Amino acid sequence: MSWIWPEGLYAAVMIGAFAAGAFRLKLPIAIAMSAAAVIGALLGGEGIPIRHLVEGAFGYIDTILIIASAMIYMKALQKTGLLESLAAFVIRKFRNSPLWLSFGLTGIVMIPGMITGSSTAAVLTAGALVAPVMMRLNVPADRAGALIAMAAIYGMIAPPVNIPAMIIGGGIDMPYVGFAGPLLACTLPLAAYSAVTLVYPYLRASGGGGEQLEQELRRMEKVPLSARLLLPVWVLVVLMAGEQFFPDVWPALGLPVDFVLAALSALASGSRFDPLEAATEAVRDSLPVMGILMGVGMFIQIMTLIGVQGFVVVSALALPSFLIYLAIATTVPLFGAISAFGAASILGVPFVLALLGKNTIVVTAAVSLIAGLGDLMPPTALAGIFAAQVIGEDNYFVVLRRCLVPGLVTAVWGIILILGANGVAAVLY
C-alpha cells in the first residue's frame, strides 16, 4: 500500500528522525542517518529497499577510498617524525618574524586537513603540535585554540581533498576537477586574516620565546629534517603535478593510488616504522568519517527515491535570490552541527542547483566553505571541542566564542564569492 504524503512532510520526518537519533538517542551520526533513511523509505511506501540502501551506501565509494588512503599517508608522515620536524623547522625559521610565524603556524595546522579532508585530523595531529608552542610564545589559550579550530576548517576545505565539494559534485553529477584555484581563493585569505587577528599581536610581543621555546623545539625534533625524510612529500607532489600538468602522457592513477604510493615511499625515508600497524591505525581512525559518508549516501538515495530531493531542489529554486543567499549563510552551517557532510549533501546540492546561472565550480567551492563552519556549531562542534582539548580547556565554548568573528567573516566571504562567482572564474581560468 502506498502512502500519499506530501514530500515536505517526508523531508521533515526524515530530518527529525535523524536529529532525534543523533542528539536524543546519542546514536553515531552514520547510524542515525541510516535509520532516518529507512524511516523515510517506509513513509514513502517503499518498504525497506535493500538495493537502494546498499547502492546509496556505496555512492561515495570514491571519496571513502580517498579518505582511507589519505589517512594512511598522514599516519606514515606521523610515524616517520616528519610532521614534528617540519613544524619545528618552520617555527625556528620564523620565530623572529612574527607575521610569517603566524602564517606558518596556520599553514602547519591546515596541512593534515588538506590531505585528509578532516578538520578533526588537523586538530589532533598538527594542532596538538603547535598549541604548546603558541602558549610558550604568550598567545592566550583561547586564541591559540581558536586559530587551531579555524585553520583546521580551512585545511578541510582547501585542496587537494575537499569532501563537502566532492559530495556536492556527486549530487549534481559534476567531477571533482578544476577546484584547486577556487578552493584556494576560499581559504587562503581567511587563513591569513585569522592568523593576523588571532595570534600575530601576541607573537610580535613575545620576543621569540627564549630558551623555553628552544627546549620545546628540541623535544619535537626527534628526527632531523632532511631531503630524504621529505621523500613522501616529493613523491606525492610529483604524482599530483604530473596528473595536473601532463594529462596526455601521465598515467591517471587517481588520488587513492597517489596517496598509497607516497605512503609506501615513507619506508625509504630513513625512519623505521611498521607499515601494517600504521595502515591499521589510519583505517581505524578514519572509520567514523567513512561511516558518515555511507549514511549520507543512503539518506540521499532514499530522499531521491521518494521525491524529497526534488522537493528540496524545487523549494530552493522558488526562493527569491536574496533569500537564497541568506539561507545558504545560515541553514548550511546550522545543519552542519549534525554533520558538515550531511549539510553539503542535503542542503548544498539544492542550493548549487538553484544557482546554475553562476560558475558551478566556484559556487560549489564557496558552499563547501560555508558547510565547513558546521564543525564549529554546538553541540557537536568537532573542531571547537578538539581544539579545546589540545589547549587543555574543559569548556569548549571558550574557544567557540573566540571563533565567532572569524566564523562570521568566513560566511560573508563565502557569500561574496558566490555573488561574484563568474568574475572569480574569469580570473582563475
In the chain, pLDDT over 70 holds for what percent of residues? 97
- Is the model's pLDDT at 12 over the cut of 60? yes
What is the pLDDT at residue 3?
43
Q: Is there a cis peptide before residue 175, judged by omega within 30 degrees of 0?
A: no
Mean pLDDT of 402-406: 95
Mean pLDDT of 77-104: 88
Whole-angstrom distance, CA of residue 409 vs CA of residue 429: 26
In a domain, 290, yes or no: yes
> Where residue 190 falls among pLDDT bands split at 50, 70, 90?
very high
- Is the model's pLDDT at 136 over the cut of 90? no
Whole-angstrom distance, CA of residue 356 vs CA of residue 321: 12
In a domain, 1, yes or no: no
To the nearest 10°, the Cα dihedral for 367, 369, 374, 376? -150
In a domain, 2, yes or no: no
Question: What cell numbers appear for 157 in the block?
Answer: 576545505
Task: Of 198, 101, 104, 190, give the one whose Cα is nearest residue 143.
Answer: 198
Mean pLDDT of 327-354: 84
> Where residue 209 falls among pLDDT bands split at 50, 70, 90?
low
- Is the model's pLDDT at 124 over the cut of 90? no
> Where residue 279 falls among pLDDT bands split at 50, 70, 90?
very high
In a domain, 205, yes or no: yes
Of 25-39, 92-106, 146-160, the range with the highest mean pLDDT is 146-160
**Containing structural domain, residue 354:** 7-428
Any idea which of 137-151, 239-253, 413-427 has the lowest mean pLDDT? 239-253
In a domain, 230, yes or no: yes
Convert the pLDDT of each residue in 357-378 to its tens digit. 899 999 999 999 999 999 898 8
In a domain, 197, yes or no: yes
Distances (CA, A) of 327 to 14, 26, 68, 217, 299: 20, 28, 33, 46, 21
| Structural domain count, the chain | 1
Mean pLDDT of 164-184: 90
Mean pLDDT of 384-407: 90
- Is the model's pLDDT at 208 over the cut of 80? no
What is the pLDDT at residue 210?
63
What size, in residues, is the chain?
A: 429
> Where residue 94 falls among pLDDT bands split at 50, 70, 90?
confident
Convert the pLDDT of each residue in 72-83 to its tens digit. 998 998 899 888
What value does the CA radius of gyration of the chain take, rounded to a whole number of Å?
A: 22
pTM for this one? 0.83
Q: What is the largest CA-CA distance in the chain?
A: 76
Q: CB of 148 within 8 A of CB of 123?
A: yes
- Is the model's pLDDT at 192 over the cut of 90? yes
What is the pLDDT at residue 14?
87
- Is the model's pLDDT at 356 over the cut of 90? no
In a domain, 20, yes or no: yes
What is the pLDDT at residue 211?
67
- Is the model's pLDDT at 1 over the cut of 50? no
Task: Of 364, 340, 339, 369, give the one whose Cα is nearest residue 354.
Answer: 364
What is the pLDDT at residue 4?
45
> Where residue 23 falls among pLDDT bands split at 50, 70, 90?
confident
Mean pLDDT of 76-99: 86
∠ CA 273-274-278 to the nearest 5 degrees? 100
In a domain, 87, yes or no: yes
